[in-house]
Structure 1
Amino acid sequence: GQRNAALAQYAACQTVLDKELDINPEAATTQLFKQIRDQTLAQPAPIPFLPPAQVAHFIGRNQLLANLTATIAQQKQKIVALVGMGGIGKTTTAIHLAHQLRRNYEDGVLWANTLQSDSAEILTQWAAVYDVDLKHLPSLAARQTAWRGITENKRILLILDNVESAEEVRPILPNTPHCTVLITTRNHDVAYALDAHLLDLPTLEQQAAYGLLENIIGEARVSAEATAATSICEQLEYLPLALEIVAQRLHSRPRYTLTAFAQHLAETVSRLDPLTMDDRAVRASFELSWQLLSEALQHLFAGLAVFEGRSFSSEAMAYILQMGEGEMVDRLEDLRALSLLGSAEGARYRQHALLADFSAEKVIRLEQNLAHLETRLTTYFYQFAHNHAQDIPCLKPNWANIQTAIDICQRTKNWQQLIDFTTVMTPAWRLQGRYTEARRAYKMAYEAALILEQDETIATILLDWGRAAFEQNDFLEAKQYIEKSLIIFEAPLSNKQGATKSRYWLARIAFEQSAYSHAEDLLQHCIKIFRTNKDNKGIARVLRLQAQIALNGREIEKSHTLYSDALTILEGTDDPYGKINTMRKLADVKVIIGDIDHAESLLNAALGQC
């Protein structure tokens, strides 16, 4: 491209040859000089490069690009597949990679969108880049053979975007180790069918998502509303397309605060509504996947709306849709292969939050009975909670589903099941310290019991509600509820056992408020009832609290005696927690009085109970 420099160089060479050797330049060199001088030298054909222009605001994929580049460079496999849900950034990543690897492919980088062109059209377009006309060839097989001849000795990167089936792209694949094929697809099965090296695109990391907002909206504006920016990222679950659309909308509307938009997202019926900008929309991206589903899979996808993006098991979904679990697993795996459903821990499934919103729209479109699905959900999770009440590892991944089932009972006025739910879940809530959700459920259950006019249930719920408040050190509220429970247990019910439990917890509250005398009065009443009923666990609980009161009053020997009596009484019971607690407290007192050996022995015995 440096014409004048080439002409000057020829002149210098000619002078040197004439002076030093008394010869002229070779004829070929002189001919080249004349072509350059006369500007008749044929220019080399440009290297084909068909990918779209570089995408702005590309962020958060450095490690993925490094992995892709390494895979391609090592030629481990000549076909590489970028797989993921709509809006995850497959095309954007492929474009960026094409520009990054451009210099590595001396014969060009080709691009085709398989949604816009079929195999024959793509082969014709690509062959034309190398000055070969395939239009006259009558069949796809003939064009395929010609294309493989064209690419036989070439080093090309071929990129096929939005591949929906392996069959549609097989004719385009070159039969040479020098070329690399990169496909983007939502369908894992396509990648496996082509024996491709599969790379699943994840959503953006939190920092990258935040950085994307900063790149478009501006760092100052995002930093000024950092909490709202984080909320937006979380509500969109870090989906690149959704984040970019939101950022562009906010950038074009400088008076629209991030806080207002975050609130709008939280309150809108469907988060998909504001996720549109000009010709780009998250809903449209999802619609492409929806249209490829069979009727059965559309029905299942819509039914997933009942979980609203929470994780679930195949067993739960099979029950809700009244289907065999084997068939359900098969269909769920189909949706997962199509990137419309994700995996969750423990062989569970989970939809991206925005896909869950899309499912909710399809429930309405298919006229499915969401209320019926919700009824099935509440029935399943009540049975599940009842059957696994003491199995915390089993309950753990289902906390949110159980809480939702309770909410549905309240919303649909299924009062008795709401009450039954709280009864079943109370031991688990206590064991796991989930008092916030317990208090919320007790409030709903209390209102349900009032409607059903169930006095004993009302009193029991008030007592449980008060205990949960006590565990969160909300002693005023705890006292309020437990005093109400005591009144109901005593007056209309004459339930001495219930009343005694209420008095015991009122004594606990009095102890925490340093009202030791009042606590003692309540405990004296309790212990009489417990002894009458031969309730050794109850007696031991009273003795432990009396021992604590004595210890706080520096009555060490009395405290020691009471703890020892409590431990003796518990020997014949199946209350390991009570024994452990008593041993630990008694060991503390032993340390105070200097009996270290016995304290150590008690602690070892307590460990043996665990």
Structure 2
Amino acid sequence: MGRPQQCTVLAALAVEVGRTVPADVLVERVWGQEPPERARRTLHSHITRIRRSLEMIDTRSGNPARLLLGSGGYRLDMAPDDIDLHRFRRLVKRADRRLCSEAEARALLRQAVALWRGEPLAGLTSAWAERTRDAWTLERLDAVVAWARTELAIGDPQAVIAELNVLAYDYPLVESLAATLIQAQYAAGRTSEALDRYAAVRRQMVEALGIEPGPELQQVQQAILQGDRMGRSGPAISRDAVLAPQVRIPPRRPTHAVVGPAPRRPLVVPAQLPIDVRGFAGRESEMAQLSDILETSQAEKQPALCVLWSAAGSGKTSLAVHWAHRVAQQFPEGQLYVNLRGFEPSGVVVRPEEVTRMFLDAFQVPPQSIPVSLEAQAALYRSCVAGRRMLVVLDNARDVDQVRPLLPGTPDCLVLVTSRRALPSLVATEGAHPIAVGPLRYDEARRVLSNRLGAARVTADSAAVDRLIARCAGLPLALALVAARAATHPDLDLRTLADELDAAVGSAGPPAEAERDVHVVFVWTYRTLSPAAARLFRLLGLSPGPDIDELAVAHLAALDLPATRTLLNELKDAQMVSEHKLTRLSLHELLRGYAMDLVRAVDSAEERSAAVRRLLTHYVTLSRRAAVLLVPHLSQDAGEGQDAGFPRITTAREAVEWFTAEHALLLDIVRRAGDEGHDASLCSLARSLMEYFNRQGHWRDQINTQRLALDAARRLGDRRAMGQAHRGTGVAHAWLGRYDDAYTHSRRALDLSCEVGSTSDQAQAHLALARVFERQGRHREALDHDQAALMLAEIANDRLAHAVSLNNVGWSLAMLEQYEAAKDYCGRALVVLREFDDPSGQAATWDSLGYINHQLRHPAEAIECYREAIRLNRDAANRYAEADSQHHLGNTLMTLGDFAGAKECWQQAVVILDELNHPDAETVRERLTGLEQAQSGIGPRR
């Protein structure tokens, strides 16, 4: 039909088929309340083109379709049944149960619902089209619910579940739809899913609309909790009740998850400030300014934004952190902190979307609920902060673009930014208060030295102290280095130190004037190091990431651990490195830049390349060994066993702890490997990180890492590695609810694995595709892929993959209510899994058997299966899976009427999930609340 305007004209006429639509009405429906001057002439052109198009179409009835000029308007003359909308409405009207039998109503409604294909008025954006689309969607949902209830009345809940699952995902706030799906799940014996659905709907209603579920949903939940089998068609619901919510129907969800506001209170209040600065002195004037700004903003109920700016080495971060600790109690609902690394010598700065993800993690926003775009993430972050008194410290910002998306939109927050730049546009557009942080005054600098060296030593040689302060130009970083040298050599005369520092002037190199004084101190301090410590300091300039573990430093320098620790102690004493966590070292960005300059100037390209390779080998090897503990089938590629050069990571718990500690650095290592052409190492790291990212919900990191791995694999021409990267990407998209992307990548993984002839990779790709379909409730298609994976695992003689596939086939069969066959497959999986040291795999299978026995009405067996799953998960330190099995055991106990036992299991699950900051805690907490209400005979308050 051509342009959207022309389609809108036809749609407006089709809605009123057989009736004359005034030209003014058509103009308003196309252009709105303020049409252009030539609107009527353009309308006439559209009418002419539509008339020609209608002459060429064949109608369902065989009658012609004509567009006629009427009195003051236009009329579409054609049979109403030739238009899906009118045919749909006629079928729904005929299905009134007062006019036909239940079987006839079911058939008519099935026909009516089948007429819907895609979104109505797709691509039309006028205000009339939006209103009409919403109204028609309500009609469709009304018809679907009516049809579903006829299916339930004849005892076919499975057909209802398959149809309503998709719609309930698209329209989660329509209560009649949710209630009918919950009834169907319960009628099919899927009690746990039914209660989970209720909890999810209630949470979304509270967060998005601020209301509790209505009577219909409450009745369904109470009936389930009290163990009453509902009538086949459920509670009688009037047509008015079906449409009662009267909420605007949202458009069909995009491929990323749509999120509402975050919970009003996080389970854990963020407290992210770094450790306060020891021996902090001075800055009374700047702190007074900050306190005045805070007091004024609180009195005027206005947001406060302060920018501490100065040259490098002036102590901006120390000032910000120290003052933030002083006022932290005024922000009881949390303190957020991030180092934006705006001036890192490597040029790798922290992107705003990385920060919003970190902050949203702090608020326990479920990973699958975090949108993709920066704008949407920033909006969700502001929703989390809204109404809370919070302190946000954005340290080391490079420019306004890094800062602006991270600014809260609430007057109850204070944002403290540090930067080497004044960021004047923040002052102009956001009302920021700039505070220049100059060098320390003489008396403040003297206090810094006194705090470190003792007042007696400083007073004993005031002249030398004056020279030291002058040479350091009052810069806190330079003073810290001088104080460290004096403190570690208590017998060294301060005058001698001053002479050494004076001698360093003139040979310090060509830094910018603003950094000249601190650079002189760097050179002087570096020259005091032993040759071995100096070499180690230089090599640290090759390390990416915000910090590094001492064992990685040992591999970087090709030293044993005792020797490395001795040299690191020398560097720490000189304040050239700092230990901000046990065994983890970091460098100030100026010192990192100095180390990078030195290593390029002093060490040969071959030495630098060898050091980087050693560091990569360290992380590739350790990542692989940690991954094996999470995914045992990787062991065939894991390489040699443990040796003295690596830590002993022997349990899944230790593996997760290691990955967590190294998370930020591993991301930098992956980028560094790609930049420097270490493509094979990059691909190996990406494969090893896959399971950790999936377990912890770092799916965006997974997608970004696998994207780099895919590029590296293409450069290598390694099609197997390309397939593995596609599979990892597909799994992450599936967890995020982006099923189209998940299918595309998983399907590409399967194609590539077929090309290279890797049956084990083909099996893994089929398992990934199965999960894509399972998460959409498409269990028949999931089963097809699970069975394909099982066959391929047998061909590859991969016993562990064979066992995993057996369990997955069993689970898919259980979802299709083929419980006896499901039990057989899961039992066979257990036999194989017992051959391996894989408690997590065994636990997952016992959990499947628990569900199957529950559905087979074998409660005693179900209870034993769940308890075995809990025991094995504890042995494997798989805390989330333990909580999940506790949750499932509670469901079984509840259906047996053992409310006390169910409550105990759910309480244990909540404790674990709260410790993990996992969003599932809210679902289980809903169960506990519902159980208590059912026992007390009351429903939720509205």
How high is the TM-score relative to the length of structure 1?
0.53
SS of the residue 1:310 aligns to: coil
Return the alpha-carbon distance in structure 1 between the equivalents of residues 417 and 663 of structure 2: 33
Residue 518 in 1 paired to residue 747 in 2?
A: no
Change (3 A) 1:590 1:444: same
Cα offsets for 1:96-120 (capped at 9, x unmatched): xxxxxxxxxxxxxxxxxxxxxxxxx
Query: Following TM superposition, by how much is the alpha carbon of 1:510 offset from its aligned partner in structure 2, in angstroms?
Result: 1.9
Change (3 A) 1:434 1:485: same
Which residue pairs with 1:381 in the alignment? 619
Where in structure 2 are there 5+ consecutive unaligned residues?
Answer: 1-280, 292-311, 331-384, 400-415, 435-476, 478-511, 630-648, 650-654, 876-942
Cα offsets for 1:129-159 (capped at 9, x unmatched): xxxxxxxxxxxxxxxxxxxxxxxxxxxxxxx
Residue of structure 2 aligned with 1:316, choices 552, 561, 568: 552
Change (3 A) 1:329 1:258: farther
Residue 440 in 1 paired to residue 704 in 2?
A: yes
Return the alpha-carbon distance in structure 2 between the equivalents of residues 494 and 289 of structure 1: 57
Which residue pairs with 2:393 in the alignment? 230
Which residue pairs with 1:405 in the alignment? 669
Change (3 A) 1:583 1:259: farther
Which residue pairs with 1:204 in the alignment? 322
Matching residue's letter, 1:487:
D
Return the alpha-carbon distance in structure 2 between the equivalents of residues 386 and 521 of structure 1: 31
Change (3 A) 1:54 1:339: closer
Query: Following TM superposition, by how much is the alpha carbon of 1:520 offset from its aligned partner in structure 2, in angstroms?
Result: 3.2
Return the alpha-carbon distance in structure 2 between the equivalents of residues 567 and 348 of structure 1: 42
SS of the residue 2:548 aligns to: coil
SS of the residue 2:552 aligns to: helix
SS of the residue 1:340 aligns to: coil
SS of the residue 2:841 aligns to: helix
Residue 449 in 1 paired to residue 695 in 2?
A: no
Return the alpha-carbon distance in structure 1 between the equivalents of residues 555 and 787 of structure 2: 52
Matching residue's letter, 2:742:
A
The question of whether the paired residues in 1 share the 8 Å contact of 2:679 and 2:712 is answered with yes
Change (3 A) 1:526 1:252: closer
Matching residue's letter, 2:619:
F
The question of whether the paired residues in 1 share the 8 Å contact of 2:398 and 2:420 is answered with no
The question of whether the paired residues in 1 share the 8 Å contact of 2:810 and 2:825 is answered with yes
Query: Following TM superposition, by how much is the alpha carbon of 1:580 offset from its aligned partner in structure 2, in angstroms?
Result: 0.6
Return the alpha-carbon distance in structure 2 between the equivalents of residues 606 and 359 of structure 1: 52
The question of whether the paired residues in 2 share the 8 Å contact of 1:540 and 1:569 is answered with yes
Query: Following TM superposition, by how much is the alpha carbon of 1:381 offset from its aligned partner in structure 2, in angstroms?
Result: 2.6
Return the alpha-carbon distance in structure 2 between the equivalents of residues 228 and 357 of structure 1: 30
Matching residue's letter, 2:851:
D
SS of the residue 1:343 aligns to: strand
Change (3 A) 1:419 1:315: same
Which residue pairs with 2:576 in the alignment? 340
Residue of structure 2 aligned with 1:590, choices 849, 853, 856: 853
Change (3 A) 1:312 1:61: farther
Change (3 A) 1:601 1:364: same
Return the alpha-carbon distance in structure 1 between the equivalents of residues 525 and 571 of structure 2: 11
Superposition pairs of residues 2-81 of structure 1, within 5 angstroms = 55-58=284-287
Return the alpha-carbon distance in structure 1 between the equivalents of residues 417 and 846 of structure 2: 60
Return the alpha-carbon distance in structure 1 between the equivalents of residues 425 and 766 of structure 2: 63
Residue of structure 1 aligned with 2:521, choices 288, 307, 324: 288
SS of the residue 1:344 aligns to: strand
The question of whether the paired residues in 1 share the 8 Å contact of 2:397 and 2:418 is answered with no
Which residue pairs with 1:493 in the alignment? 756
Which residue pairs with 1:484 in the alignment? 748
The question of whether the paired residues in 2 share the 8 Å contact of 1:228 and 1:259 is answered with no
Which residue pairs with 1:580 in the alignment? 843
The question of whether the paired residues in 2 share the 8 Å contact of 1:308 and 1:357 is answered with no
Residue 417 in 1 paired to residue 681 in 2?
A: yes
SS of the residue 2:685 aligns to: helix
Which residue pairs with 1:469 in the alignment? 733
Superposition pairs of residues 35-184 of structure 1, within 5 angstroms = 55-58=284-287, 87-88=314-315
Cα offsets for 1:515-539 (capped at 9, x unmatched): 3333333344344444555655445
Return the alpha-carbon distance in structure 1 between the equivalents of residues 596 and 728 of structure 2: 36
Change (3 A) 1:253 1:403: closer
The question of whether the paired residues in 2 share the 8 Å contact of 1:485 and 1:502 is answered with yes
Cα offsets for 1:584-605 (capped at 9, x unmatched): 1222333344433222222232
The question of whether the paired residues in 2 share the 8 Å contact of 1:309 and 1:356 is answered with no
Change (3 A) 1:280 1:260: farther
Change (3 A) 1:344 1:573: same
Return the alpha-carbon distance in structure 1 between the equivalents of residues 426 and 396 of structure 2: 18
Cα offsets for 1:291-314 (capped at 9, x unmatched): 233264555444332235632233
Give the total of aligned pairs.
394
SS of the residue 1:413 aligns to: coil
Superposition pairs of residues 538-553 of structure 1, within 5 angstroms = 538-553=801-816
Return the alpha-carbon distance in structure 2 between the equivalents of residues 235 and 538 of structure 1: 48
Give the stretch that moved more between structures: 440-449 or 464-473: 464-473
SS of the residue 2:542 aligns to: helix
The question of whether the paired residues in 1 share the 8 Å contact of 2:810 and 2:823 is answered with yes
Return the alpha-carbon distance in structure 2 between the equivalents of residues 458 and 498 of structure 1: 11
The question of whether the paired residues in 2 share the 8 Å contact of 1:86 and 1:289 is answered with no
Return the alpha-carbon distance in structure 2 between the equivalents of residues 395 and 498 of structure 1: 24
Which residue pairs with 2:539 in the alignment? 303
Matching residue's letter, 2:524:
Q
Return the alpha-carbon distance in structure 2 between the equivalents of residues 234 and 438 of structure 1: 26
Cα offsets for 1:44-99 (capped at 9, x unmatched): xxxxxxxx99941246999xxxxxxxxxxxxxxxxxxxxxx975599x9xxxxxxx
Matching residue's letter, 1:422:
A
Return the alpha-carbon distance in structure 2 between the equivalents of residues 260 and 89 of structure 1: 15
Matching residue's letter, 1:291:
W
Return the alpha-carbon distance in structure 2 between the equivalents of residues 253 and 468 of structure 1: 37
The question of whether the paired residues in 1 share the 8 Å contact of 2:544 and 2:672 is answered with no
The question of whether the paired residues in 2 share the 8 Å contact of 1:467 and 1:505 is answered with yes
Change (3 A) 1:578 1:205: farther
Query: Following TM superposition, by how much is the alpha carbon of 1:512 offset from its aligned partner in structure 2, in angstroms?
Result: 2.0
The question of whether the paired residues in 1 share the 8 Å contact of 2:539 and 2:611 is answered with yes
Return the alpha-carbon distance in structure 2 between the equivalents of residues 505 and 53 of structure 1: 59
Return the alpha-carbon distance in structure 1 between the equivalents of residues 602 and 691 of structure 2: 41
Change (3 A) 1:353 1:227: farther
Return the alpha-carbon distance in structure 1 between the equivalents of residues 677 and 691 of structure 2: 24
Change (3 A) 1:365 1:535: closer
How high is the TM-score relative to the length of structure 2?
0.36
Which residue pairs with 2:868 in the alignment? 605
SS of the residue 2:525 aligns to: coil
Change (3 A) 1:291 1:229: farther
Change (3 A) 1:432 1:528: same
Return the alpha-carbon distance in structure 1 between the equivalents of residues 320 and 393 of structure 2: 18
Query: Following TM superposition, by how much is the alpha carbon of 1:244 offset from its aligned partner in structure 2, in angstroms?
Result: 10
The question of whether the paired residues in 2 share the 8 Å contact of 1:250 and 1:257 is answered with no
Return the alpha-carbon distance in structure 2 between the equivalents of residues 248 and 291 of structure 1: 28
SS of the residue 1:306 aligns to: coil
Change (3 A) 1:326 1:571: closer
Superposition pairs of residues 222-301 of structure 1, within 5 angstroms = 230-232=393-395, 249=422, 254-255=427-428, 284-285=517-518, 287-293=520-526, 294=528, 296=531, 299-301=535-537
The question of whether the paired residues in 2 share the 8 Å contact of 1:228 and 1:258 is answered with no
